[in-house]
Amino acid sequence: MEIIERVKKHAPITGENLAEMLGIARPTIRSDLALLVMLGYLDAKPKVGYFLGKTLEREESSYKKLDGIYVKDVMGFTCRSSRNSYGE
């Protein structure tokens, strides 16, 4: 929710600036931003940044449903294999 609040206040904002405001590295929030864009809570334009998406324009309070849900719970699990991409 903090990401959405920051975007709402400072839009358009780059991922780098957003990460700096939150005191974390950009790669740390990359998956969170991707998920929020996929769900329509945020929208992104190259060279411009992130801004509120269509979902929040229609129903601004709907993002509160995300409180307590983590990306790892939604995006699945990590799969590790002893094989390389050539099947060896």
CA–CA distance, 33 with 81 (Å, rounded to integer): 27
The pTM (predicted TM-score) of the whole model is: 0.63
Which amino acid makes up residue 25? A
Whose CA is closest to 60, among 77, 75, 40? Answer: 40
What are 29-81's pLDDT values in tens digits? 898 899 889 888 899 999 899 998 887 666 655 556 666 777 666 665 555 65
Report DSSP letters for 16-82, one per residue: HHHHHHHTS-HHHHHHHHHHHHHTTSEEEETTTEEEE-HHHHH-GGGGGGGTT--HHHHS------S
